[in-house]
Amino acid sequence: MSRSAHPAGPRHADVLTEGHYSAPAADLNVLDEKVWARTVTRDADGALTVGGIAVARLAEEFGTPAYFLDESDFRARCRAWAEAFGPDADVFYAGKAFLSRAVVRWLKEEGLNLDVCSGGELTTALDAGMPAERIAFHGNNKTVAEIERAVEAGVGRIVLDSFQEIVRVAHIAQRHGVRQRVQIRVTVGVEAHTHEFIATAHEDQKFGIALADGQAAEAVRRALSLDGLDLVGIHSHIGSQIFDMAGFEVSARRVVQLLTEVRDEHGIELPEIDLGGGLGIAYTSEDDPREPHEIAKALSDIVTRECEAAKLRTPRISVEPGRAIVGPTAFTLYEVGTIKPLEGLRTYVSVDGGMSDNIRTALYDAEYSVALVSRTSDAEPMLVRVVGKHCESGDIVVKDAFLPADLAPGDLIAVPATGAYCRSMASNYNHALRPPVVAVRDGEARVIVRRETEEDLLRLDVG
């Protein structure tokens, strides 16, 4: 069925493709550590705890829906990435996954750099004290005002995304009397998705400058000719939620090939390459993500091998994981409001949030898992669809999942792995109030992004 058609009728919700689900887990009370933040466990009463605090207390103090973020897990993942890549490489956390001032401070303390892609993200980063030289500025259509601000602040690199931008950034840098460090983002003709990648000659997308037809080589020529720019490297980002390293391998090979051409034409060995982000995480028990040290080794082996073959000095590698750092560290806590068994169709479990706090299921057909977390249950598994409270039948949080058949209104259920691209893509649809993000660590919980209020809504509406 076409996703652009919204036929009315009893199966209206099937505008989404049918989900797939495996048999229920042997014991629905077991929390698979693959998908839950590291300090999540069940206490003696059977309630989920995170950072040592039980969900009932969290719900009482902070309300639902809310995102609970395991700060020690976040910090541990930052350290794992930094250690895996070592002192000769750089890890830039991709702020688009989730950014707040507290997150910026954690990144700073754990030695990570930060990739921002808008004036708003740049402001958050600078306001929370991230040194400008540790910030990379991305985007396929940065405004003049954004570029001015980035140059004035002295960001460590601007990633150039188009021919127009090469000139734009050069002019602005010159006007400020500086040489701006830049990389050029190229499209390598590789598109990677979860378990596969597709290599195509030309990529039909808005980002970067194609390697094909000598476009990227021409961009390098222009960047090198402009006084305002200090071209330090080439950037490539091939996709999201990737498990298969083969796409990165092709990407690295093609970027090194460009470095070789640049050396041969200009006698310059560009010192940096950035291989982007996109490393996958486990949303359900079926996903098998790679560990940072495996990823670091695979990328560094590929680049070293290709550079040795081309007799190039090995450039400094950087990467930009967003989801892989923050995704697994948070879960969304909801309260069950209604349960509607539709004879012969399915059972709908409605929660107090929905597509305004997690648009990914509706937008990407994303898979999630869910668990009853305020208590354990020995009841039979019941196949359900978890939906939100919005006026839209595509308002689905978890397409197909098993919850205990004694589930009742008032129970708390939680969706794990919602740290990335949930709060950052949240909306006010139906004038929903975007939920808070609460950081939990060592028995303490504190709000790092507060819940929106109706006053917030009215403040923007100037009447």
Among all residues, which ones are annotated catalytic? 391
Structure tokens at 456: 């917030």
Among positions 37, 55, 279, 384, the unique one binding ligand LLP when judged by CB under 6 A: 279
Q: Rounded distance, CA 160 to CA 234, Å?
A: 9
Among positions 323, 385, 434, 441, the unique one binding ligand LLP when judged by CB under 6 A: 323
Among positions 237, 254, 390, 441, the unique one binding ligand LLP when judged by CB under 6 A: 237
Closest to 207 measured CA to CA, from 134, 121, 142: 142
Residue 289 interacts with ligand LLP (CB under 6 A)? Answer: no
Structure tokens at 394: 């595509």
Among positions 360, 385, 390, 441, the unique one binding ligand LLP when judged by CB under 6 A: 360
Nearer to ligand LLP, 353 or 404 (CB): 353
Site for ligand LLP in 145-204 (CB under 6 A): none
Q: Rounded distance, CA 255 to CA 188, Å?
A: 7
Among positions 51, 65, 156, 278, the unique one binding ligand LLP when judged by CB under 6 A: 278
CB of 280 to ligand LLP, least distance (A): 8
Which range in 24-32, 142-150, 259-267, 320-328 contacts ligand LLP by CB under 6 A?
A: 320-328
Q: Rounded distance, CA 149 to CA 123, Å?
A: 9
Nearer to ligand LLP, 96 or 254 (CB): 96
Residue 228 interacts with ligand LLP (CB under 6 A)? Answer: no
Nearer to ligand LLP, 287 or 411 (CB): 287
Site for ligand LLP in 373-392 (CB under 6 A): none
CB of 285 to ligand LLP, least distance (A): 19
- Find out whether 278 is annotated in a ligand binding site: yes
Which range in 46-54, 160-168, 294-302, 316-324 contacts ligand LLP by CB under 6 A?
A: 316-324
Q: Mark 52-91 with x for binding to ligand LLP (rule: CB under 6 A) and - for no binding.
A: ----------------------------------------
Structure tokens at 353: 């949030």
Residue 39 interacts with ligand LLP (CB under 6 A)? Answer: no
Residue 102 interacts with ligand LLP (CB under 6 A)? Answer: no
Residue 296 interacts with ligand LLP (CB under 6 A)? Answer: no
Binding residues for ligand LLP, per CB under 6 A?
94, 96-97, 115, 138, 237, 240, 276-279, 320-324, 360, 364, 420-421
Annotated binding residues, written as ranges, equal 278, 320-323, 360, 364, 392, 421
Residue ranges of the binding site for pyridoxal 5'-phosphate: 278, 320-323, 421
